[in-house]
Structures are given as C-alpha cells and as structure tokens.
Amino acid sequence: MDLSTSPLFERLAGARHVLIAGAGGGFDVFSGLPLFFRLRELGKTVSLANLSFTRLESVEGTWLAPGLMKVEAHTKGPAHYFPEGLLARWFHGRGEHVPVYCFERTGVAPLRAAYALLWERLGFDAVVLVDGGTDILMRGDEVGLGTPEEDISSLAAVDALPLYDKLVVCLGFGVDRHHGVCHAHFLESVAALSQQGAYLGVTALLEPMPEVALYRDAVTYVCERMPRAPSIVSLSVVSAVEGAYGDVHRTVRTEGSQLWINPLMSMYWAFGLAAVARRCLYLEALRDTQTAWEVADRIETFRNQCQTIRPWKDIPV
C-alpha cells in the first residue's frame, strides 16, 4: 500500500463477485451505487441487496426463502414506498436487468440464514455492507446510537459468512445528528479501528465522476417517484456532492430542522467488517434473536444495564 493506491479497492482486488448490501434499510443500498458501478467497470460481478423497510408481504416479488425476496423491474409493490423496485426500474430504463435482493426485517438468526441462502445461490465471495450514515460504528455505550437495530442485525448476519472478505462502508458523515449520534464518538471509533489496522481510509465522491453521476440520477429518479418519503440521507449526500454547504434542504421532510450539509458527507469511510463487529458491545446478545422486536428489546436491555454511558462531546475544531 502507498499513497497512490486505494486501500478499499486493494481489499476488493481479489474478489470475483461482490455483494453490496444496504445495512440499515430504506435507501442504504443506494449509498453503495457508486461502488457498484466502479467495481463493475473493473470487470467484477456485482449484486445488490438491501434490508428492506418495504412491507414485503405487499410486494409481488419472487420469494427465494423465508425473509428473502428477489425484486425486479416488473415487480409490483406499494405505490407510496418501494425504493428497491424503483431502483430496479431505473436500471431497466437504462437497458439493464439488475435485481435487488430484499431481506425482511427480522431477528439476526433468520437474517443470517437468508444471507447464507443468497450466498449459496449467487456465489459471491465478498460483501460490502453499506450504511447511509455512520451509526453502524457506535459500539453501544455512546450517548446516542442512532438507529442501530437494522445496522447491527446486518453486521452480525454478514459477520457469520465464511467469505474472502467483508467490509463496512459508511456514507453521509453528519446526517445522523438528528438521530442523536455524536460524531466525536464516530471519529473515536475510526481511531480505534485504525489502531487495529481495520480502517481503510476515505474515498471522496466527486461530481465529475461517472459513477457519482449515475448515483445522483438514480437517487433523483426514485425520490421523485416517492414524494411522500424521499430519502433524507441520499438527498443530503447528493447536495454535498454538488457543493452545497450548511442548512440546505431538498425535501419538506427536513423542514423545521437544521441541517449541516458539508464535504465530509460525500466521502466513503471504509473498514474491515470483522473489527467493527468485535467492537460492538451487545452484538453477541443479538445472535439468537428471531424477530426485529426481540432485537430492539435486547438493545434496550443492554442500554439499561450499561454502567457508563459516554456523554456528548463537541468536536473541538
């Protein structure tokens, strides 16, 4: 490794087939699109998956197993909220067939089983777990954890897969503040992972990059067709890519709140997944959970029993 190389892409150099999976539901899979396009240009097979917030029982997709559905461009789903289906249709409009594999919101045990089945079916040898935001790095004793239920469930499920490599990539530094995340604690986590050799640096998404242009087009296409629930994270990242700064709003969903759109928001922060999983103080308590409710209950129990909750810290710059 030297200054002219990207540690993120060096880690993936030997992979043949990469699964890019949204960790926390919603639009998280969109945060992996620039990486999807670049890896594909490098000649790799790349697939897309997402822990879905869509009510999959209302979707006319192909069930591959309990908790795992294949969504394609022709798949019908709820009109007001179906980002995975709209993403598949965006690809179809470009003349491409790119399914999105949707994981149901469950406990860790069934999610792990669904990931294992998808691995058997597709044969991917690497997973990049993508978080729209940075709260996946919260270990559990911070003042605010953001929305950890889906992120940590995905982290635990992927951690169990015996693959060539497993990575975590975050996009959207700063967007989790409205969920109570202290970004001084995020940077502290980055430093701790760096000590373990698990921090793979940052990669800026810049407006002239063709991969970024496609990402922006996909986000715009889907958000325009979901006017009741556009993605706050994705639109904030697009604003940052375009050079916006400060309290800039692209959707009425953020009215009444103060945003901090900034250049750090449009950077990939990459890490070795195993090290991120080992730092989570309550991950082991989630491994046998069966339902999303059980995951939330175990996290609440951990928080109630936690001896020390680290208080909020402002970044001193």
Predicted local distance difference test score (pLDDT) of residue 25: 86
pLDDT value, residue 255? 73
Element at 201 (helix H, strand E): strand 199-204
Asked if the structure places residue 136 within a domain, the reply is yes
pTM attached to this predicted model: 0.96
pLDDT for 254 beyond 80: no
Q: Which two tokens stand for residue 204?
A: 């800026």
Does residue 223 carry a pLDDT above 90?
Answer: yes
Provide mean pLDDT across the span 22-45: 97
Q: Is residue 54 assigned to a domain?
A: yes
Report d(CA 108, CA 111) in Å as an integer. Answer: 5
The CATH number for 157's domain is 3.40.50
Asked whether residue 228 is assigned to any structural domain, the reply reads no
**98-146 per-position pLDDT tens digit:** 999 999 999 999 999 999 999 999 999 999 999 999 999 999 999 999 9
Q: Is residue 177 part of a domain?
A: yes
Mean pLDDT of the chain: 95
Does any domain span residue 306?
no
Structural domain boundaries, residue 132:
7-213+266-274+281-301
Domain-embedded: residue 183:
yes
**Is 224 inside a domain boundary?**
no
Each residue's pLDDT tens digit, 167-219: 999 999 999 887 789 999 999 999 999 999 999 999 999 999 999 999 999 99
pLDDT of residue 96: 98
Distance CA 123, CA 199 (A): 26
CA distance 262 to 246: 7
Q: Number of folded domains in the chain?
A: 1
Is 58 contained in some domain? yes
